[in-house]
Amino acid sequence: MSAVSTMDRSPGGASPESATAGGPVRRFASWLHRHGWVRLGVLLSAPMAWLVVAYLGSLAVLLVSSFWTVNSFTGDLVREPTLENFRTIFAEPVYRNVAIRSVGVAVAVTVIDILIALPMAFFMAKVASPRVRAWLVIAILTPLWASYLVKAYSWRVMLGNGGPVDWLLGGPGRGPGYGLPATILVLAYLWLPFMILPIYAGLDRLPNSMLEASADLGGRAGRTFRSVVLPMIVPAVIAGSIFTFSLSLGDYIAVQIVGGKTQLIGNLVYANIGTANNLPFAAALATIPVLIMVGYLAAVRRSGALDQL
Amino acid sequence: MKPIRLITAVAAVGLLALAGCGNGGTNTPAPGGGLKPPDRQKLAALGAGEGQVNVIAWAGYVENGTNDPKVDWVTGFEKSTGCKVNVKLGATSDEMVTLMKTGDYDTVSASGDASLRLIYGGDVAPVNTDLIPNYKDVFDGLKNKSWNSVDGVAYGVPHGRGANLLMYRTDVVKPAPTSWGAVFDANSPHKGKVTAYDSPIYIADAALYLMKTKPDLNIKNPYALDDTQFQASVDLLKQQNAIIGEYWSDYTKEIQSFKSGDSVLGTTWQVITNLAQADKAPVEAILPSEGATGWSDTWMISDKAKHPNCAYMWMNHIISPDANAAVAEYFGEAPSNKLACAKTADKNHCATFHADDEAYFSQVWYWTTPIEQCLDGRTNVKCKDYSAWTQAWTTIKG
């Protein structure tokens, strides 16, 4: 605001004849010049409209429609506010179980991705030669170009009975098969680049001199990692975890392909839109991940990690 | 604090806007005792075609040669009637119901779990079968049934039918199963390799099994379940969940599972068995001793049809011997027209799919939308409606 207000003030004493001399466009321009907040508003109106209408607006619609119901037989919307949907969600243990399972999957995927991404990103940023580094970045980015479905279905083949994963573990039936572990595995694979890239960027910003200073002061690898590297890249890890956590929480396709009979929140939302045609109930279910993410972001903000991003 | 206030303001604005456009819905009759469909008029006489017709169909029902040049029963119709066919594929019965409510479509190939909802929602009109010459050749076993008519008034023309069968791997499942008991056995030797159809309508399969094995439950119709009967079916499915490997709704997924051996036993459609066998999978499908659930599709006409004449011509065309034979063979189901059996490329098609085998289909309970008013005629109890089935299906899968 300060920048705008100084602009607002300084031309206040400008000669009025310059404004009246020009045409209406000129007059309008100088009027805008004197009213900085209007100019700012006009400039920002398009992105603000996008944010408010498309983004927050859709959230508001979601919230409102979750209080409606559907005529169970004809499928018509009944636009009378009721807490029925939320009552069902709280009363039926199945929804609590599915929500807990979904959060568990998201946490597991995030932890696995952090564990794989940390050494990987460290090698890329600090050990590899620039040439190797470029190839590694490409290797991590290329899977992002392949279709999500292609990757998920190829994992279905890999995890199938007698597939490559089975043989690797010693014969048909030895692998995890389809189910919750397979879901976590595939999601961890799918979202890994979203964890590696922020951590790589964070480590890239970490000056080598700090690592050398730590070594000079007698710090071993473990101590250097704990006391120097980790505090510096926590914001990057958290940024990556926001991606992997929210992407896993909302996923319903991978679990349909390799999850066996597992259902997550996304599946319930999809089933209520697709087969049950119960949009209000789907909206009520969809508020669960929204609330979880808001809670997660609030916790992250409290930790102060967001300020360093 | 500022962002929070902004969000609140936006939410409040959205709330007001939505409240303003609320309460615009029409009052539809609540399902319950004395249910009557809204009064809708059927077409009295056929006029000239309107030049086009908007169709909602299952994938594979309306083929104009774009998917496979050899598979085409639409182009000829367009040429002879001047009605251009615009197709919108429906993925589920529920999507079809939603699309029909828009009033932008003239006709729909509705399965039994959609047709009654369309009739009672007032979205479709009765069909004047006198205007459809091919209707007389439809198998009598398909005319004026509970899913395509109300009180003897026909609401559509039958398209074709099929049964949900029990498929198994011949190299793994020995001896060959003869009963649905194989998929409901808690101590199944094939634990983790059993599959089931992923839809609330599958509850009827459990009810059908209980109808034959637990006579004291007194189930007369697997789509008309009171509280006790419904609970027993749901409990059976919860028990089955322990031996299920995965549920299927995408048929390519099921073919792949049976080929790799991830699934060795479970519900299927005839077309899936044929495709799996063509892929050299050692599978076989049977109609178990208890009978089975199945589907029987009906072409219905929208009450708000903008091209009713073309829609009638389409309904007549799709059940004509040639078109009906082509579509039944392409999709893998039994045709509805008696004369179609002589027109199929594979002369055994009607025998394979039991088209004229009324004894076979008398054991098949076609998908029907469960409603509060019991379909088996009981009036002293209320039955569980489809929304209750949907919610229960979620709890079954856990």
The 3-class secondary structure across B302-316, one letter per residue, is ECCCCCHHHHHHHHH
Inform me whether the C-beta atom of residue B59 falls under 8 Å from chain A C-beta atoms: no
Residue of B260, B263, B373 for testing the chain A interface, max A β-carbons within 10 Å: B260
B contacts of A63 (beta carbons < 8 Å): 11, 14
Residues 6+ apart with CB under 8 A from A111: none
Residue B74 to residue B60: CA distance in whole angstroms: 12
Kindly indicate the confidence band of residue A72, based on its pLDDT and cuts at 50, 70 and 90: low
Residue B222 to residue B233: CA distance in whole angstroms: 9
Kindly state the helix (H) or strand (E) to which residue A114 belongs, with its residue range.
Answer: helix A93-122
CA A205 to chain centre: 23
pLDDT at A5 over 60: no
Q: What is the pLDDT of residue B82?
A: 93
- Is the same domain home to A191 and A279? yes
User: What is the CATH code of the structural domain delimited by B165-268+371-397?
Assistant: 3.40.190.10
| Distances B108 to B113, B307, B335 between C-alpha atoms, Å | 13, 13, 17
Which of B200, B245, B385 faces A260 most closely, judged by CB atoms? B245
- Is the same domain home to A42 and A98? no
Residue contact A64–B390, C-beta within 8 A = no
Pairs of CB atoms within 8 A across A/B = 128
Residue contact B101–A75, C-beta within 8 A = yes
Q: At what angle do helices A57-65 and B2-21 cross, to 10 degrees?
A: 60
Whether A262 is in a domain gets the answer: yes
A contacts of B386 (beta carbons < 8 Å): 72-73
User: Tens of pLDDT along A112-171?
Assistant: 999 999 999 999 998 999 999 999 999 998 888 889 999 999 999 999 888 888 888 887
Buried b (16+ CB within 10 A) or exposed e, B299-325: bbbbbbbebbbbbbbbbbbbbbbebbb
Quick one: residue A171, left, alpha or beta (phi over 0 = left, psi -120 to 50 = alpha)? Answer: left
Whether A161 is in a domain gets the answer: yes
- Is the same domain home to A214 and A264? yes
Q: Transcribe A82-113 into DSSP letters.
A: -SHHHHHHHH-HHHHHHHHHHHHHHHHHHHHH
Q: What is the pLDDT of residue A174?
A: 79
Which residues in chain B (150-179) have CB-CB distances under 8 A to chain A?
none
Structure tokens belonging to residue B13:
């604005």
Beta bridge partners of B334: B161
Structure tokens belonging to residue A215:
């070594």
Question: Backbone phi, then psi, for B371, in 5-degree steps?
Answer: -125, 170
pLDDT at A40 over 70: yes
CB atoms closer than 10 angstroms to residue A230: 12
* Residues B307-329, mean pLDDT to the nearest whole number: 94
Dihedral over alpha carbons B215, B217, B221, B224 (to 10 degrees): 180
Question: Backbone phi, then psi, for A60, in 5-degree steps?
Answer: -65, -40
pLDDT at A111 over 80: yes
| Distances A47 to A50, A52, B194, B331 between C-alpha atoms, Å | 5, 9, 52, 49
The domain ranges of chain B are 52-161+295-356, 165-268+371-397
- Is the same domain home to A129 and A230? yes
Residue contact B91–A79, C-beta within 8 A = no
Respond yes or no on whether ipTM tops 0.90.
Answer: no
Residue A111 to residue B361: CA distance in whole angstroms: 54
Whether A66 is in a domain gets the answer: no
Residue contact B262–A177, C-beta within 8 A = yes
Q: What is the pLDDT of residue B16?
A: 39
Say if CB B29 and CB B120 are below 8 A apart. Answer: yes
- Is the same domain home to A159 and A245? yes
- Is the same domain home to A111 and A18? no
Kindly indicate the confidence band of residue B60, based on its pLDDT and cuts at 50, 70 and 90: confident
Furthest C-alpha separation in chain A? 90
Q: What is the pLDDT of residue A155?
A: 93
Whether A256 is in a domain gets the answer: yes
Inform me whether the C-beta atom of residue A82 falls under 8 Å from chain B C-beta atoms: no
The answer to whether domain B52-161+295-356 and domain B165-268+371-397 are alike in fold is: yes
What value does the mean pLDDT of chain A take? 85
Distance in Å, alpha carbon of A127 to nearest chain B alpha carbon: 43
Q: What is the pLDDT of residue B31?
A: 40
Which residues in chain A (97-136) have CB-CB distances under 8 A to chain B?
97-98
Residue with tokens 């008029």: B41
Beta bridge partners of B246: B195
pLDDT at B14 over 60: no
Whether A244 is in a domain gets the answer: yes
- Say whether A251 sits in a helix, a strand or coil: coil
pLDDT at B6 over 60: no
Number of structural domains in chain A: 2
Q: At what angle do helices B112-120 and B93-101 cross, to 10 degrees?
A: 30
pLDDT at A17 over 80: no
Residue contact A274–B91, C-beta within 8 A = yes
pTM over 0.80: no
Residue A198 to residue A2: CA distance in whole angstroms: 33
A contacts of B390 (beta carbons < 8 Å): 271-272, 275-276, 278
**Bridging pattern class, strands B157-163 and B334-335:** antiparallel
A contacts of B120 (beta carbons < 8 Å): 73-74
Start-to-end CA span in chain B (Å): 40
Q: What is the pLDDT of residue A96?
A: 92
Q: What is the pLDDT of residue B208?
A: 95
Say if CB A163 and CB B260 are below 8 A apart. Answer: yes
Structure tokens belonging to residue A96:
């609590």
Ranges of beta strands (E only) in chain B are 52-57, 84-89, 107-110, 124-125, 149-150, 153-154, 157-163, 165-169, 194-197, 244-248, 265-268, 283-286, 292-302, 334-335, 364-366
Q: What is the pLDDT of residue B330?
A: 83
- Is the same domain home to A190 and A42? no
Q: What is the pLDDT of residue B263?
A: 93
| Distances A260 to A274, A290, B262 between C-alpha atoms, Å | 19, 26, 10
Residue contact A60–B261, C-beta within 8 A = no
* Residues A255-270, mean pLDDT to the nearest whole number: 90
Q: What is the pLDDT of residue A274?
A: 66
User: Tens of pLDDT along A74-85?
Assistant: 667 788 888 888
* Residues B270-277, mean pLDDT to the nearest whole number: 82
Which of A64, A261, A274 faces B92 most closely, judged by CB atoms? A274
CATH number of residue A99's parent domain: 1.10.3720.10
* Residues B38-63, mean pLDDT to the nearest whole number: 88
Q: What is the pLDDT of residue A9?
A: 44
- Is the same domain home to A23 and A131? no
- Is the same domain home to A89 and A38? no
User: Tens of pLDDT along A204-238?
Assistant: 888 989 989 999 998 888 898 888 888 888 888 99
Inform me whether the C-beta atom of residue A247 falls under 8 Å from chain B C-beta atoms: no
pLDDT at B377 over 90: no
Q: What is the pLDDT of residue B65?
A: 84
Q: What is the pLDDT of residue A75?
A: 66
Q: What is the pLDDT of residue B15?
A: 39
Q: What is the pLDDT of residue B308?
A: 94
A contacts of B246 (beta carbons < 8 Å): 178, 259-261
Residue with tokens 């999850």: A259
Residues 6+ apart with CB under 8 A from A127: none
Tell me the H-state helices in A169-306.
180-205, 208-216, 221-224, 230-250, 253-258, 265-274, 279-302
* Residues B191-219, mean pLDDT to the nearest whole number: 93
Kindly indicate the confidence band of residue B281, based on its pLDDT and cuts at 50, 70 and 90: very high
User: Tens of pLDDT along B114-143?
Assistant: 888 889 888 999 999 999 999 999 998 889
| Residues of chain A above pLDDT 90, percent | 39
Residue B129 to residue B154: CA distance in whole angstroms: 8
Residue contact A61–B14, C-beta within 8 A = yes
* Domain span including residue A25: 2-46
Q: What is the pLDDT of residue B26?
A: 32
Distance in Å, alpha carbon of B145 to nearest chain A alpha carbon: 19
Residue with tokens 């598979």: B71
- Is the same domain home to A27 and A168? no
pLDDT at B32 over 80: no
Residue B323 to residue A127: CA distance in whole angstroms: 68
Residues 6+ apart with CB under 8 A from A66: A85, A86, A280, A281, A283, A284, A286, A287
User: What is the CATH code of the structural domain delimited by B52-161+295-356?
Assistant: 3.40.190.10
Whether A69 is in a domain gets the answer: no
